[in-house]
Structures are given as C-alpha cells and as structure tokens.
C-alpha cells in the first residue's frame, strides 16, 4: 500500500482505463489544457491528445447529448460536470434519454458512459455550487450511482464504472479531493464491484449507514462518541447508493439494533428515508429503537461558514443525533 490523495487516484484510474481501452475518452469543460476546475484531469491531454480529451463549450445539454450518441455506437465517454449542481441544465439528456435508452431499444443498445464531477458543501461556494445530488440521481431507474469516500475505493470503483455497460454517475465530494489514504501501487490493476458496501468501523451500539464525505464525518463522530460517552458506533460505507447493498445494512442492524442513515442531500424525500424504509420493510424486528435519518436542513446552502456547518449533517450534528437516539 501507499499513501496518496483522492484526486490523484481519480486521475490515475482514468489514465489506466484510457490505456486499456481505446474507446474510452474524456469530455467536459476546461478538462484539457487547464486540467479541469479542480485539476482532476491535469496532464491527461499531454498523453492522449485532443481527440480523446475533448474540451467543450459551456453547454452541458449539448455535450451530454453528444456523449449519449458516442456511447450508443460503442465508445465509452467519461463526462466531467464542473459542478454537479449543473445537472438540471441537462436533465432531459440524463433522465429522459441516457437513463432510458437501453430500455427503449429493448436492451439492444447499451449506454456505457460515466458522468463524474464534484458536489457537496464545505467550501463556502453558496447555494448553486454546493448541493449534493445523490438522492436525485438514485430516483431514476437506469442509472447507477457511486459515491466513494476513500482513495482506495475511489480508484477501484471508478475503474468498474468505466467498464460497466450502463450509465454510471460517479460523485466526488469536493472536500475529499485532497484527503489522503491507502491505495495499492499505481501500476496495480484492481476494481471494486458496484453495489457492495464496506464496514469502515465496527461497533455494537448503533449503525450509521452513510457514504461519500459523510463517512469521514461519521468516523470522527464515532471516535468522539466512544471516548466521551462509551457509545460504540458501527459505520457502514455504502460506496454505491444505486444499487444499494441492503444486506450489509441489515447485518449491521442485526448486531446493533439501532440505525441512523446519514447523507448530505436534503433529508426530505432523500436516500436516508429510503435506507430507513428498506429496514422497516425487510426486517423491522431487528430494531430495538426507532430508526432515524439525518440529512441537510431544508434550506439553500449559505455562503457563511458558520451557517453552512450548522445545516450540514456533519460531525457535530451526527454526535447530537446519536446521543438523542441512545437516550
């Protein structure tokens, strides 16, 4: 193992898949010479040239439509959205076309493309550049949704996403880009299957089911709860939210008897409600206390750091919610 950053392994995964398969290409705004807004695609143009690293005009609907056509004829586009907030600019292409194309052709045509980009709060970017869109994407059939929390998972899952024959949305939280963690040597080829969760911390008192940056926040909260209150939290990192590994959640809840579902998109009609509903529908007898969800408060994200931290489901709010549940 080596220590490396989340942003570095995303870059590596794309390079390795482009070397492995000449049908893989990158497309998006400022991803070529500039290397992307967050420099995720830096220097890839130098190796693969402008035919496989395509800079586009500022028109998400146009280049997502182009990518759909390219995928339909056998290419494998990896699309970068500068901010996932801009999803709605191309909503028709994503939800009415890309998600449905294989179904509409009776499975005769696959759409092997990846839509990747950063989302989430923490950088004081304000209401239109800080939203989490995981619950929105997970609502529509035909799209897989992946949101890894660690460098190791990010690389293995992105390689699997690029090789998948279905549309995959790959969500990269902006607060994760410069976090460091373990990963195999750069030359080692490994993948992680989509739809398989991972228990990041074992505990016997309560299960937190979460993903993306909230995994790191949940782990910090778990350490505080253990040190100050003697509460041992089990943290289940879903990694993929569609498909969702319900079995791993149920196995954890069978041990702890309590469940808190945490995600950064809005709590209202969000993935936390879906996680809780699945447990109540499939195995309510496992719960010794009511399950709860914790998402972002139902307000637009402010620029103020103090206000932003107040409404996000991060460490402070996770600790407070767990203490309420344990009482």
C-alpha angle with apex 291: 287 to 295, nearest 5 degrees?
Answer: 155
Over the Cα atoms of the chain, what is R_g? 19
60 has catalytic annotation: yes
Contacts of 92 (CB under 8 A, 6+ apart): 61
Nearest partner of 266 among 128, 168, 120, judged by Cα: 120
In terms of DSSP H, where are the helices of the chain? 6-20, 44-48, 60-72, 91, 101-104, 134-138, 151-163, 213-229, 246-256, 271-282, 305-311, 315-326
Q: Which letter, b or e, does each residue of 90-107 get, where b requires 16 or more Cβ atoms within 10 Å of its Cβ?
A: beebbbebbbbbbeeeee
- For 1, the token pair is 């193992």
Place of tokens 């909260």: 221
Of 129, 173, 242, 308, the active-site residue reads 129
Of 16, 17, 29, 60, the active-site residue reads 60
CA distances from 198 to 104, 122, 163, 184, 238 (A): 34, 25, 21, 17, 6
Catalytic residue ranges: 60, 129
């Amino acid at each position: 193992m080596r220590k490396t950053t989340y942003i570095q392994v995303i870059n590596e995964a794309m390079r390795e898949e482009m070397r492995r398969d000449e049908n893989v290409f990158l497309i998006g705004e400022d991803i070529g010479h500039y290397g992307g807004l967050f420099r995720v695609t830096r220097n890839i143009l130098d190796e693969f040239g402008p035919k496989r690293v395509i800079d586009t005009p500022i028109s998400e609907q146009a280049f997502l439509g182009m990518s759909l056509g390219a995928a339909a004829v056998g290419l494998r586009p990896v699309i970068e959205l500068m901010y996932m907030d801009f999803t709605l600019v191309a909503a028709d292409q994503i939800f009415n076309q890309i998600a449905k194309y294989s179904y509409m052709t009776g499975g005769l045509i696959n759409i092997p493309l990846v839509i990747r980009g950063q989302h989430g709060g923490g950088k004081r970017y304000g209401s239109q550049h800080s939203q989490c869109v995981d619950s929105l994407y997970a609502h529509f059939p035909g799209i897989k949704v992946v949101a890894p929390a660690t460098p190791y998972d990010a690389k293995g899952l992105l390689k699997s996403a690029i090789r998948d024959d279905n549309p995959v949305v790959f969500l990269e939280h902006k607060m994760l880009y410069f976090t460091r963690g373990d990963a195999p040597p750069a030359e080692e080829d490994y993948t992680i299957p989509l739809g398989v969760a991972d228990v990041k911390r074992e505990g016997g008192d309560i299960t937190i089911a979460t993903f993306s940056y909230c995994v790191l926040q949940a782990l910090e909260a778990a350490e505080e709860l253990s040190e100050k209150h003697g509460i041992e939290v089990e943290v289940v990192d879903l990694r993929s939210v569609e498909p969702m590994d319900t079995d791993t959640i149920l196995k954890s809840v069978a041990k702890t008897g309590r469940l808190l579902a945490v995600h950064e998109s809005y709590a209202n009609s969000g993935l936390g409600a879906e996680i809780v509903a699945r447990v109540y529908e499939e195995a309510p007898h496992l719960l010794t206390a009511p399950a709860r969800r914790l998402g972002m408060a139902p307000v637009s994200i402010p620029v103020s750091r103090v206000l932003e931290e107040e409404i996000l489901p991060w460490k402070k709010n996770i600790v407070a919610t767990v203490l309420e549940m344990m009482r």
